[in-house]
Structure 1
């Protein structure tokens, strides 16, 4: 699945806000290292390097397009590097560190098991900070899945889109971290966003949730799917004179290993 850095950053003001809400709760003073799993364009990874100038900071992403743009970023701190790789293959480094993953683990099936393994392998004094979308039950996702399962699209899109099991609920994440011996802080936020433009919700999901559909369909068929889906979105999210309201529920967890 190919990612489009320009498309992804189209709504960066909205998309970046959960990252800052997440890392603001990390209490690490002087970690030996920090990692941003699913770093995207690397712009937010650079924030980690600025906050902890004594740490070796790595951004990891599975998208060559994203890593290429991250490495081209001008003026990055010298201790900041970017690596092409899979989140599933990442292993914690020795010493107290900070593991951040912002809006990425929902793409990883079975990520609860990964969190449990990382929690076991991290050295004492380390932190885990994760944010995942909690809106898989929202209309934008439900309408997309329903359309993909319709007779017209089911043959090509069966199994392409994951459902509400992509993430779990906050209580489950809390229990997982408690069982691993962490001191966790778990919460959720629903941002009530006002998006501008003629088809803002469609523009939004083009950057993320629609990517698997784009990858699965030939260009002409994808255009047809998007046209049908766009009509559904316009009815579900009616535009007002001041814009279109798009609720954005997110799940956060920040935890320290004693």
Structure 2
């Protein structure tokens, strides 16, 4: 089982990680809400946006990570945070908004999962989803190449399949349209200027690299990261100011019941 998520590592790039939440929330067509759920709330950075947008709402944050939940409770003492898995959680009443930022890419069987989430909404309620759609980016291709090429290949065979490639937008539309009055789907590619290859590695240690690093320890983990960084150096060249640009495609969906 992968190690627990690390809230401190995740928040090393808090501004960049929170920007997609802001962009997603800006497209939520609700003037008000009484009950809002932040699914996969992480350390509460997205939950804080929801509480500010809907100050009169009951806000519930759900996550599977004890460390993330501890960080969220510290950040927002007035909100309610509970352990909950995206594929199995239940609500005691319909939600006006289920906000799922950068979590559902880790959850299988979207054809069952997404209609289930819509079914938990009140009439006129909104499911708002953002997922990284970056498995074909050089950063992630290099992860898999490093995993398959070293002495750790057998240990990391499962890690190369930890996330599935997302369906095309048309596939999501077909999943959701029968259960919704409106489905809005779009992609955004963020180009994050970072302070060199080491910053790309630090970014991904908080998310995409986790399944690759979790089975490794000590020197083996260090060797894997060295191999991975060397591959990145050939793929991400410094720009005029010395920074590198990390291209990061993300898929957004806003579904109105």
TM-score bin (small chain): over 0.9
**CA displacement at 1:110 relative to structure 2:** 1.7
Match of 2:16 in 1: 14
Q: 1:199, 1:234 within 8 Å by CA — same for their partners in 2?
A: no
CA deviation digits over 1:175-225, x for unaligned, max 9?
A: 222122330111001112211245221121111111112211122211111
Where do residues 207-226 of structure 1 align in structure 2 (5 Å cutoff)?
207-226=206-225
Which residue of 11, 17, 28 maps to 1:26?
Answer: 28
Which one is further off, 193-202 or 20-29?
A: 193-202
1:62 aligns with 2:61: no
Q: 1:2, 1:215 within 8 Å by CA — same for their partners in 2?
A: no
Q: 1:2, 1:211 within 8 Å by CA — same for their partners in 2?
A: no
Match of 1:141 in 2: 140
- In the alignment, the residues of structure 2 paired with residue 240 and residue 249 of structure 1 have an alpha-carbon distance, to the nearest angstrom, of 20
Q: 1:5, 1:41 within 8 Å by CA — same for their partners in 2?
A: yes
- In the alignment, the residues of structure 1 paired with residue 188 and residue 150 of structure 2 have an alpha-carbon distance, to the nearest angstrom, of 36
Match of 1:237 in 2: 236
**CA displacement at 1:93 relative to structure 2:** 4.5
Q: 1:32, 1:95 within 8 Å by CA — same for their partners in 2?
A: no
**CA displacement at 1:90 relative to structure 2:** 1.7
Q: 1:59, 1:81 within 8 Å by CA — same for their partners in 2?
A: yes
Q: 2:22, 2:49 within 8 Å by CA — same for their partners in 1?
A: no
- In the alignment, the residues of structure 2 paired with residue 108 and residue 20 of structure 1 have an alpha-carbon distance, to the nearest angstrom, of 22
**CA displacement at 1:124 relative to structure 2:** 1.1
Q: 1:128, 1:255 within 8 Å by CA — same for their partners in 2?
A: yes
Q: 2:37, 2:95 within 8 Å by CA — same for their partners in 1?
A: no
**CA displacement at 1:120 relative to structure 2:** 2.9
1:255 aligns with 2:255: yes
TM-score where L is the length of structure 2: 0.92
Q: 2:40, 2:103 within 8 Å by CA — same for their partners in 1?
A: yes
TM-score where L is the length of structure 1: 0.92
CA-based RMSD of the aligned residues comes to: 1.8
- SS of 2:122 mapped into structure 1: coil
Runs of 5+ consecutive residues of structure 2 not aligned to the other structure: none
Runs of 5+ consecutive residues of structure 1 not aligned to the other structure: none
Q: 1:96, 1:124 within 8 Å by CA — same for their partners in 2?
A: no
Which one is further off, 25-34 or 92-101?
A: 92-101
**CA displacement at 1:135 relative to structure 2:** 0.8
Q: 1:37, 1:101 within 8 Å by CA — same for their partners in 2?
A: yes
